[in-house]
Amino acid sequence: MVLACSSAVALVASLALAPVGEAPLEPNPDPTQKPKPAASDDDDEITRDVQVRVGRPEPSERDRASTVVGREELDERLPRSTPDALRGEPGVYIQQTSHGQASPYLRGLTGQQTVMFFDGVRLNNSTFRQGPNQYFFTIDSRSVQRLEVLRGSASTRWGSDAIGGALLATPIEPDFEDRRGVVVHPKAILRAASADAELGGRGQTSVSVNGKLGVIVGAGYRKLDLLRSGGRVQQPGTGTPQTVPPIFGPDDHTQLGTGFRELTDDARIVWRPNRKHRVTFGYYDYRQFDAPRTDKCPPQTAPQDECLTYLRQFRTLVYGAYEHSEGPAAAEHVRLTLSYQKQHETRREHRGSPSVTELTGEDDVHAGGTGLHAETKEFVLAPWATLGVRYGADLYVDRLASDETLTFTDVDISVERPRGQYLDGAHYVTSGAWSEVHTELADAIRLRAGGRFAVVAAQADEEPMTESKAVDEQWVTGVATAGVAADAVEWLTFVFNVDQGFRAPNLDDLTSRQQVGPGYQYENADLDPEHSLSLETGMIARHPWFELEAFGFRTTIRDLIQRTSRDLSECPDGDVNCMASRNRFQLVNLDGIARIYGAEGGLRIFFPLGFRLRGTVSYAWGDGVNPRRDLPMQPDRVALSRIPPLNGIGEAGWRSRKWGVYVSGVVRWARAQTRLAPQDRVDARIPEGGTPGYVVFDMRAGYQLDRRVLAAIVFENVGDTAYKHHGSSTNGPGRGILAELQFGF
Amino acid sequence: MDSINRKGLVWLAVGALASTACGDDSGGDDAADDGGTADGGTADDPTGGDCMPSEVDIAPLDTSTCMPAATDYTPTINGSADDMWPACANDDGVYHPLDQPGAAARTEAFAMIRSILAADLSPAGFTMAREQYALDQGIESRTVRREDVRYPEIPEADHDPAVDADKQCTVEANVMKYPDRCAGPAKIAPIINDAFMAAQMGEGDPAVHAARIDAAIAWFMYLSVIKESTFSCPLADLGGDCDSGWGYYNGANARGAGIGFAADVIGVSPAADDRIIDGLSAMRCWRDSYPADMDADTSDPLYVAGRDQLDQANNHGAAIVLRDRMEQQLALCGSEADANWAWVQTFGQGLIKPAQDTDAGHASTLVALLGNDAPMPADIEGGIAALDALFPCP
């Protein structure tokens, strides 16, 4: 056994020392950093059934609370979406407002308080709304090689919005085959699921030309029908079944207001003329059609055929990146990106019978961006000390188009509304420059410190008919980060990190008017940025036999932007929608400090012969100053909205790399969340008294024959349990089969 | 004072709406002219078949003998000191809401619709008015689910199990099967939709369309007063719906300053307006005796007293408005007459149930009149007499 361990360590070491360009490059989520050689999927015979940890993807920042989901796990989990792939990861909780939308919570925060990147390009734009949003869903999980979750504030490196953490998606790379001419690897993926009658697939082709030019193109389509659940959940407050949402069909299991269609296409061209230079062109297009918003199909008290549908939810990303390695000491590795992203939404609210009214809203966000990321060489200060610096700058500019039309379908007459969901023609700029110094002492102590200087600006013209104020704001802010990590032994590290985060108000905060889950929300043009301070301490163990990470954290947020209830008299003049709504909200900066405490951890144990165990657990608790504390009977502090319950997973499995077979069982669980914010209590998505806990069991199995065939199957929710993720409109899928077949050469 | 208010109301809500069709033939509104001719005449053509002899004299409704019931809440009489009700914030005669009701915005939209159609009966005017009707969370959003809670509840056997018991009128099958209970989606909304559609397409008499729209929305408001205050208000999470009843009635305004349905009532009898506000105040007082986050007890004698007081006052208010319209009919001709009678026929449907519950004979007289497209003066006299007998006191 000792020999086996030594072999594995030696293999890791040898891979780590392999020259760049000879080992396959693992996609790097932080392109600033030097490309790291990855563990090969086809490990040698010795390690196949003994040391499966060798193939585990490594996080981009070794001394932070983070996890990585690699392609192998994606293929094994068969997620319905990219957010779905992160279920059960420590500190992550997935909320779904509809079948076609999902939003990861990181340490109790989501949406605009987390930041998303795709291959180093910022996906967050100025319309990311308060609370959950659907935009991480618009990354095609089949085009992703790895997903990394960085938990805790991280604005120094990732800019505005990185308060709860960062989500980093890395696309699949084309194959490069050195010393061969033109090599083509086509691949087809077929997929089906029973709970939502999903049928779809993807075709992709990777081409390598002389090992220097790699091209991968792909296109996918899938159609999902109504999602069958395990039934209604019991409301903790009453002990009775929750009625809405969702609306159930006659079988009391099938959820109406679900289903959608999805079309994706992508192309990636990578040119590596030599080991120093790399040029990448990426095109990623996501098109979702006819996705009903479950909690608005129908709204709680409306006719049963009323529905708000996202007719079109498109995101198109085009970018180019140039990377230079082995440069001068001050910029040994440099990556420069130039990107354009368009996000398009068309929403249609079809009023219920006998109404003949339809309200259609269209929003387009055009975002141009550029980013420069560089890293110095590792300077040797002394035999026992090295020092390096990472630095960079980024700039993203958004332009927004927004309109809304009322149509009377019986006479086919349309009326343009005075304003759309956002103020049309608004602009938004987010930018910054950052630097981070890191040093390693005696090969055991690592220190890092850095900061970002950020400038954010928002501009929008007023709309007098609806008394929508003009916006002309600029914010300049600075954030810092610091951390220390100490290796107790080779495989065990203790870390302590202090990170600041910030989020400048975006155009959604400053200009939007919309019906949100708990009621009608109108803008606040006078918001200030929110700032966070994240303290975390924990341990990271990466032993050949196990991986362990355990963290405790405390995040405090100053000037937290939250919804607060508003009286009718506070509605903007001329905003009849506000005045007519039962519940009215406005975003405000909370006084005082909001705080989130929590702990999370994950343990993987690798047994001989390919057996493995895995468990994760996550807990968060948050509260903030009650914006209505001056009113009678109101407490000084209230719970933050939709903080996830205590939750986790347990997994036991076996994988034989020799035979290409795997099988595993997974238990997903969550305690009830009965600690609700005031707005949660009027949110129809949350059952009365909170969201009940659940225990759900899944089984997974599959077979892989080299790169030619992969057959994977998930038997989900074996017990057909009725369950709901806190804050979600849809209940979790009922008992069913997910199956995927990949074949290629 | 009554007379002045009455005239003001009449000519704001109907006379002005009808003026385009009756006298303005210079605006190129072919639809209006066509509609007027088709319906038998215009103000320029007083020989239209709808004209009534004007010599019929209808005696005003005598309410001098009406007295509050022993269980009534009377904040305007000695600050409620003499009634059976415990002390309440509303004892000063002013309605004190738990929260400003969003329903008031719908009443304001109703007033806006009246204002738009008073000024413009062209198809474009109707489109503007319909925009107000169809606002997000506006009148339409509630019309399509409004129940007439005076009719029996939908039997549990017909409940859609996927839908809350109190939202069964959002189920189309129930709307078809129980049109009386599901008055909003089954009766009121279709009238409004048909009228808007015809008017926007330039078909028929726009004054008649405007009258139907106006009457149907007023019917909705009248139903909403009692529905919100007595049906929704007792529930834990809907305690503010007592205030919605107030918002639907008068736009959450002070006594005598109401808009929408209240303006119609005030135009005929400010005293009737007072009594409705008293009834609404009674329900608020009853609800305030329970925690807002708990269901209130509907077997509480105060609930029964307040509900009955409000129901009687609300019915009386609707009845005197309807009576006034009937009386006007005797003096109108052509399109004005058509529009006014369309208003009566539409709004009057809301009073059938309480009429039937009170006196089947008078109710049948009323029902027959409302179904009569060409009533004779005697028919109208009979209808007014029935109304007076059915709803004599506020």
Report the C-alpha gap between A722 and A707 in whole angstroms: 37
Report the C-alpha gap between A379 and A389 in whole angstroms: 9
Question: Closest residue of B to A573, CA-based?
Answer: B105
| Nearest of B164, B192, B160 to residue B175 by alpha carbon | B160
Sheet holding A519-522, edge to edge: A514-516, A519-522, A584-589, A561-565
pLDDT at A709 over 50: yes
Of the partner residues B101, B127, B171, the one whose CB lies closest to the CB of residue A413: B127
Instruction: Give the pLDDT confidence score for residue B273 in this predicted structure.
Output: 97
**Which residue did the predictor score with more confidence, A44 or A600?**
A600
Q: Please give the average per-residue pLDDT across A250-260, as a whole number.
A: 92
Report the C-alpha gap between A154 and A533 in whole angstroms: 10
Residue A75 dihedral angles phi and psi, to the nearest 5°:
-65, -30
Instruction: Give the pLDDT confidence score for residue A254 in this predicted structure.
Output: 94
pLDDT at A25 over 80: no
> Within its chain, how far is the Cα of A668 from the centroid?
19
Residues of A in contact with B162 (CB under 8 A): 243-244, 247-250, 252
- 3-state secondary structure string across A559-627: CCEEEEECCHHHCCCCCHHHHHCCCEEEEEECCCEEEEEEEEEEEEEECHHHEEEEEEEEEEEEEEECC
pLDDT at A4 over 60: no
Tokens of B136: 């997000």
Q: Please give the average per-residue pLDDT across A449-472, as a whole number.
A: 94
- On whether the CB atoms of residues A289 and A314 are closer than 8 A, the answer is no
Interface residue A465 vs chain B (CB under 8 A): no
Interface residue A632 vs chain B (CB under 8 A): no
Beta strand A182-193 with A584-589 is: unpaired
Report the C-alpha gap between A595 and A602 in whole angstroms: 23
Q: Please give the ipTM for the structure prediction.
A: 0.84
Neighbours of B96 (CB within 10 A): 14
Residues of B in contact with A300 (CB under 8 A): 167
Closest Cα in chain B, distance from residue A453 (Å): 42
Closest Cα in chain B, distance from residue A579 (Å): 5
Q: What is the DSSP letter of A730?
A: S
pLDDT at A50 over 70: no
Would the CB atoms of A577 and B136 count as touching at under 8 Å?
A: yes
The DSSP secondary structure of A349-389, one letter per residue, reads: EEPPTT--EEEEEEEEEEEEEEEEEEE---EEEETTEEEEE
Would the CB atoms of B193 and A354 count as touching at under 8 Å?
A: yes
Residues of B in contact with A568 (CB under 8 A): 99-102, 104-105
Neighbours of A596 (CB within 10 A): 24
Q: What is the DSSP letter of B227?
A: I
Residues of A in contact with B132 (CB under 8 A): 576
Instruction: Give the pLDDT confidence score for residue A33 in this predicted structure.
Output: 52
Would the CB atoms of A301 and B170 count as touching at under 8 Å?
A: yes
Q: What is the DSSP letter of A691?
A: B
Would the CB atoms of A408 and B130 count as touching at under 8 Å?
A: yes
Residue B288, CA distances (Å) to B92, B284, B307 in order: 15, 6, 15
Beta strand A165-171 with A709-716 is: unpaired
| Nearest of A556, A609, A561 to residue A585 by alpha carbon | A561
Each of the 394 residues of chain B gets a pLDDT tens digit; together they read: 333 344 333 333 444 443 333 333 333 333 333 333 333 333 333 333 456 556 678 888 998 899 999 999 999 999 999 999 999 999 999 999 887 888 998 999 999 999 999 999 999 999 999 999 998 889 999 999 999 999 999 999 999 877 778 889 999 999 999 999 999 999 999 999 999 999 999 999 999 999 999 999 999 999 999 999 988 888 876 656 789 999 999 999 999 999 999 999 999 999 999 999 999 999 999 998 888 778 889 999 999 999 999 999 999 999 999 999 999 999 898 999 999 999 999 999 999 999 999 999 999 999 999 999 999 999 999 999 999 999 999 9
Q: What is the DSSP letter of A472?
A: E
Q: What b/e readout covers A322-343, taking b as 16+ CB neighbours within 10 angstroms?
A: ebbbeeeeeebbbbbbebebbb
**How far apart, in Å, do the first and last CA atoms of chain B sit?**
19
Question: Closest residue of A to B166, CA-based?
Answer: A301
Instruction: Give the pLDDT confidence score for residue A684 in this predicted structure.
Output: 85
- 3-state secondary structure string across A598-610: EEEEEEEEECHHH
Instruction: Give the pLDDT confidence score for residue B239 in this predicted structure.
Output: 58
Report the C-alpha gap between B266 and B222 in whole angstroms: 14
For residue A54, name the pLDDT band (cuts at 50, 70, 90): low
Report the C-alpha gap between B252 and B105 in whole angstroms: 9
Residues of B in contact with A465 (CB under 8 A): none
Residues of A in contact with B106 (CB under 8 A): 580
Instruction: Give the pLDDT confidence score for residue B290 in this predicted structure.
Output: 86
Interface residue A357 vs chain B (CB under 8 A): yes
| Nearest of A215, A113, A222 to residue A161 by alpha carbon | A113
Beta strand A546-558 with A530-543 is: antiparallel
| Nearest of A667, A584, A116, A651 to residue A341 by alpha carbon | A116
**Which residue did the predictor score with more confidence, A40 or B241?**
B241
Cross-strand bridge partners of residue A702: A662, A712
**Stretch among A330-339, A639-648, B27-36 having the lowest mean pLDDT:** B27-36
- On whether the CB atoms of residues A232 and A249 are closer than 8 A, the answer is no
Report the C-alpha gap between B113 and A441 in whole angstroms: 77
Tokens of A509: 């905060």
Instruction: Give the pLDDT confidence score for residue B5 in this predicted structure.
Output: 41
Q: What is the DSSP letter of A230?
A: S
pLDDT at A487 over 90: yes
Query: pTM (2 decimals)?
Result: 0.85
User: Residue B314 contacts by C-beta under 8 Å, 6 or more apart in sequence?
Assistant: B222, B225, B226, B249, B276, B279
Spell out the long-range contacts of A246-253 with Cβ–Cβ below 8 A and sequence spacing 24 or more: A246/A294, A246/A295, A246/A297, A246/A729, A246/A730, A246/A731, A247/A297, A247/A298, A247/A304, A247/B162, A247/B163, A248/B162, A249/B162, A250/B162, A252/B161, A252/B162, A253/A228, A253/A229, A253/A734
Burial of A166 (0-12, 13-18, 19+ CB in 10 A): buried
Q: Please give the average per-residue pLDDT across A582-605, as a whole number.
A: 91
Length of chain A in terms of residues written:
745
Would the CB atoms of B144 and A301 count as touching at under 8 Å?
A: no
Length of chain B in terms of residues written:
394
Residues of A in contact with B135 (CB under 8 A): 576-577, 580
Interface residue A633 vs chain B (CB under 8 A): no
Report the C-alpha gap between B388 and A572 in whole angstroms: 45
- On whether the CB atoms of residues A49 and A657 are closer than 8 A, the answer is yes
- On whether the CB atoms of residues B383 and B372 are closer than 8 A, the answer is no
pLDDT at A51 over 60: no
Interface A-B, measured as beta-carbon pairs within 8 A, has a size of 122
Report the C-alpha gap between A304 and B210 in whole angstroms: 29
Question: Closest residue of A to B134, CA-based?
Answer: A357
**Stretch among A51-55, A167-171, A216-220, B303-307 having the lowest mean pLDDT:** A51-55
Q: Is A270 helix (H, G, I), strand (E, B) or coil?
A: strand
Instruction: Give the pLDDT confidence score for residue A518 in this predicted structure.
Output: 67
Closest Cα in chain A, distance from residue B124 (Å): 10
Dump strand ranges (E) for A35-130.
66-70, 92-98, 101-106, 115-118, 121-122
User: Residue B355 contacts by C-beta under 8 Å, 6 or more apart in sequence?
Assistant: B362, B363, B366, B367, B386, B390, B391
Q: Which of A512, A568, A634, A676 should be substituted to probe chain B, the one whose Cβ sees the most B Cβ atoms within 10 Å?
A: A568
For residue A5, name the pLDDT band (cuts at 50, 70, 90): very low
Q: Is B287 helix (H, G, I), strand (E, B) or coil?
A: helix
The DSSP secondary structure of A285-348, one letter per residue, reads: EEEEEEEE-GGGSS-TTS-TT-EEEEEEEEEEEEEEEEEE-S--GGGSEEEEEEEEEEEEEEEE
Q: What is the mean pLDDT of chain A?
A: 90
pLDDT at A631 over 90: no
Would the CB atoms of B189 and A411 count as touching at under 8 Å?
A: no
CA angle (A186 as vertex; A184, A190 as ends), nearest 5: 170
